[in-house]
Chain A
Amino acid sequence: MYGFEALTFNIHGGYLEAIVRGHRGGLLTAVDYNNLCQCETLDDIKMHLSATEYGPYLQNEPSPLRTTTIVEKCTQKLVDEYKHMLTQATEPLSTFLEYITYGHMIDNIVLIVTGTLHERDVHELLEKCHPLGMFESIATLAVAQNMRELYRLVLVDTPLAPYFSECITSEDLDEMNIEIMRNTLYKAYLEDFYKFCKKLGGATSEIMCDLLSFEADRRAVNISINSIGTELTRDDRRKLFSNFGLLYPYGHEELALCEDFDQVRGVMEKYPTYNLIFAKLSYGESQMLDKAFYEEEVKRLCLAFEQQFHYAVFFAYVRLREQEIRNLMWISECVAQNQKSRIHDGIVYIF
């Protein structure tokens, strides 16, 4: 199979791959970031961004600018590009593209369910949803009062329906359950995505499985660290880990037992890939772990562009854009809050 997709890939995917590679050129470079870091005000940032692809999205924004506006507009650009690609895509690329957004969809559902529990106004909630995770029947989510109803009335029509089968057992919804539900859903989603990519085969499967494994491992580590000292039991913790990835299954067993950060580190040091990440951190320091993971992820995502004739570039592109938005948010927050000494702590250079 390998290599033969070059013959047929361009029939359906060629145009979009060209587009996505074109978009890739629009990602901000280290030079752009250096310029942005020199900014004194948010208006300076806007001025610098106007020379990039974000220009048209920000040019009509009146001063004074707010960080949320910048983030919103940049997200809008990503959404527009994504929508454009989605409408052009044919099977199985369209399904693949949809898969990318399921993560946001899960977040949106969880948000609405939480809001409903506290009897908030659904329309207000809808405004807060991530635009990439919207689906048609999302507003009707508010009618549900427990999981069973939620599933029966709304979710059965969404692509997420199969993921809910696992957490359907919890009848009452409270904060604890919701956070667990979110993670159970995410786990199911990652596993499903993983399976889907395997099925696609070829370079897509090879690269995507690698990326998703990394994602799954990162989640496992994060969940382990973040659940230290909470009511989450070891078994529950273990259940939230996705059943694939480099750490599966032995690493998961060990992670489930960890009681503090250094134990997690001990587990991770057995894996050469992650050893490098943890080696960057000094002992007892867990602050910069997220950034280290982001950097590693970006490195892997960039590598996805090195090969041709596969779908992982779309995934990589969306993720890189998201990272870029995070960078921009960080920069503008630092500028707005006058914390310029910290500005380099949060930027992950993409290229």
Chain B
Amino acid sequence: MSGQGQRLNVVPTVTVLGVVKARLIGATKGHQLLKKKSDALTVQFRQILKRIVQAKETMGDSLKASSFSLTEAKYTAGDSIKYVVLENVGSATVKVRAKQDNVAGVKLPKFEYFTEAGETKNDLTGLARGGQQIQLCRSSFIKAVEVLVELASLQTSFLTLDEAIKTTNRRVNALENVVKPKLENTISYIKGELDELEREEFFRLKKIQGFKRREVEKQMLLNKKHAEVAALKQTASLNGGRGQSDNNLLQLEADADEDIIF
């Protein structure tokens, strides 16, 4: 995993741990949601793919029929009919309107064609010859436009969805492979640090406890010795054996001194 070993640069405290944990929960939730979105988009995407392939085939047939109907028109009305059409172009009567569809928060443009209200021109084109073929040809091409507009919607949706899926997946993957491990690492780091601190504290406490106990014992020993010395002195003065008792006292005092120094 790419995120392994990385962690956020934070102070390992309990507060930060809480914050990071909250972030991890957020990231997990976000990841789930994005994953769902990506799945929804992918479903839509696959449907569109299928329809695109179909529509492209329909388009092929439809245009073939249209161009043949133009041939028929040219056959009856003469080759020059195309110039008449070309020169008669004014403003467009067939236009497209753009709508928006919403799939899991992605706005998909949708086109629909409409005929602008107004007199249809070219009505009298080929009045003397081939007028009917021209009308047929016109309707055939209008049908082709219909197919093409649908295809255009599909294609635009395709591109938009493709882009949306890409970004969503990027986010999903980023959450999954970077953000979440990072947060997890941070949490384990903080936990580790906290444990370490706790252990240290425990050890320190133990140590101090031990020291204190030793100290108390020593004190008690000392007190006991003092009491013994006092008792000895008493008996020595009572017995009268001076030299021995002096020596003994010195010995005892040196012992006591030694101990005190230590």
- Report if A and B touch in the complex (beta carbons < 8 A): yes
Residues of chain A whose beta carbon lies under 8 Å from any beta carbon of chain B: 71, 107, 110-111, 114-115, 118, 120, 125, 128, 130, 175-176, 179-180, 182-183, 186, 219, 222-223, 225-227, 230-232, 240, 286-287, 290-291, 326, 329-330, 333-334, 337-339, 342, 346
Q: Chain A residues near B84 (CB, 8 Å)?
A: 110-111, 114
In the complex, what residues of B have CB within 8 A of residue A115's CB?
Answer: 87
Q: For B74, give its contact among A107, A111, A114, A329 (CB under 8 Å).
A: A329
Smallest CB–CB gap between B5 and chain A, Å? Answer: 64
Q: Which of B74, B80, B131 contacts A225 (CB 8 A)?
A: B131
Contact A330 to B87, CB < 8 A, known contacts A111-B80, A186-B128, A231-B123: no
Counting from the closest, the 3 A-B pairs by CB-CB distance are: A226-B131, A179-B124, A290-B76
CA of A128 to CA of B136, assembled, Å: 24
B residues within 8 A CB of A337? 64, 67-68, 71
State whether the Cβ of B88 lies closer than 8 Å to any Cβ in chain A.
yes
B195 part of interface (Cβ distance < 8 Å): no
Residues 56-72 of B, flagged 1 when their CB comes within 8 A of A and 0 if not, give 00000000100110011
Report the separation of the CA atoms of residues A125 and B83 in the bound assembly, to the nearest whole angstrom: 9
With a cutoff of 8 Å between Cβ atoms, the chain A residues found around residue B87 in the complex are 111, 114-115, 118, 120, 125
B72 to chain A, nearest CB (A): 8
Determine the main DSSP class of A at the interface with B.
helix
If A107-B80, A128-B80 touch, whether A175 touches B131 (CB-CB below 8 Å) is no
CB neighbours of A333 from chain B (8 A)? 68, 71, 74-75
CA distance A139 to B118 in the complex (A): 33
The interface residues of chain A lying within 8 Å CB-to-CB of B109 are none
Distance between Cα atoms of A123 and B37 in the complex (Å): 59
The range of chain B's interface size is 20 to 34
CA distance in complex: A134, B64 (Å) = 34
Q: Beta-carbon contacts of B4-35 to A below 8 Å, as 1s and 0s?
A: 00000000000000000000000000000000
B163 located at the interface, meaning its Cβ lies under 8 Å from any Cβ of chain A in the complex: no
Q: Which of B78-108 contact A (CB under 8 A)?
A: 78-80, 83-84, 87-90
Residues of A within 8 A of B122 (CB): 175
How far, in Å, is A9 (CB) from chain B's closest CB? 33
Q: Which residues of A contact B133 (CB under 8 A)?
A: 287, 290
Asked if B75 contacts A329 (CB within 8 A), the reply is yes
Contact call B68/A342, Cβ cutoff below 8 A? yes
Which residues of the partner chain B approach A128 to less than 8 Å between Cβ atoms?
80, 83
In the complex, are the beta carbons of A219 and B128 less than 8 A apart? yes
Q: Find out whether the CB atom of A176 lies under 8 angstroms from the CB atom of B124.
A: yes
With CB as the reference atom, state the residue of chain A lying closest to B67.
A337
For the complex, what is the distance from the CA of A337 to the CA of B68, rounded to whole Å? 7
Q: What are 17 A-B pairs at a CB distance below 8 A?
A: A107-B78, A111-B87, A125-B83, A179-B124, A179-B127, A222-B127, A225-B131, A226-B127, A226-B132, A232-B127, A287-B133, A326-B78, A329-B74, A330-B75, A333-B68, A333-B74, A334-B71
Complex Cα–Cα for A219 and B127 (A): 9
A346→B74 CA distance, assembly (Å): 11
Contact B79 A329 (CB under 8 A): yes
A338 to B64, CA, bound (A): 9
In the complex, are the beta carbons of B90 and A130 less than 8 A apart?
no
Contact A226 B67 (CB under 8 A): no
How far is the CB of B197 from the nearest CB of chain A, in Å? 83
- Does any Cβ of A come within 8 Å of B166's Cβ? no
| Complex contact A118–B79 (CB within 8 A) | no
B80 engages A232 (CB within 8 Å): no
- Cβ-based interface call for B3 (8 A): no
| B125 interface residue (CB < 8 Å to A) | yes
By a CB distance below 8 angstroms, the chain A residues around B88 are 114, 118, 175
Q: Which residues in A have their C-beta under 8 angstroms from that of B121?
A: 175
Q: How far is the CA of A176 from the CA of B119 in the complex (A)?
A: 11
**Contact A183 to B80, CB < 8 A, known contacts A118-B89, A290-B133:** no
**CB pair A346 B75 closer than 8 Å:** yes
CB of A227 within 8 A of CB of B75, answer no
* CB nearest neighbor in B for A338: B64
Q: Nearest Cβ distance between residue A273 and chain B, in whole angstroms? A: 19
Q: Which residue of B lies closest to A176 (CB)?
A: B124
> Beyond the given A71-B79, A107-B78, A186-B128, could you list 9 further A-B residue pairs with CB under 8 A, ordered by the A residue number?
A114-B84, A125-B87, A176-B124, A179-B125, A182-B127, A226-B131, A227-B127, A287-B133, A346-B72
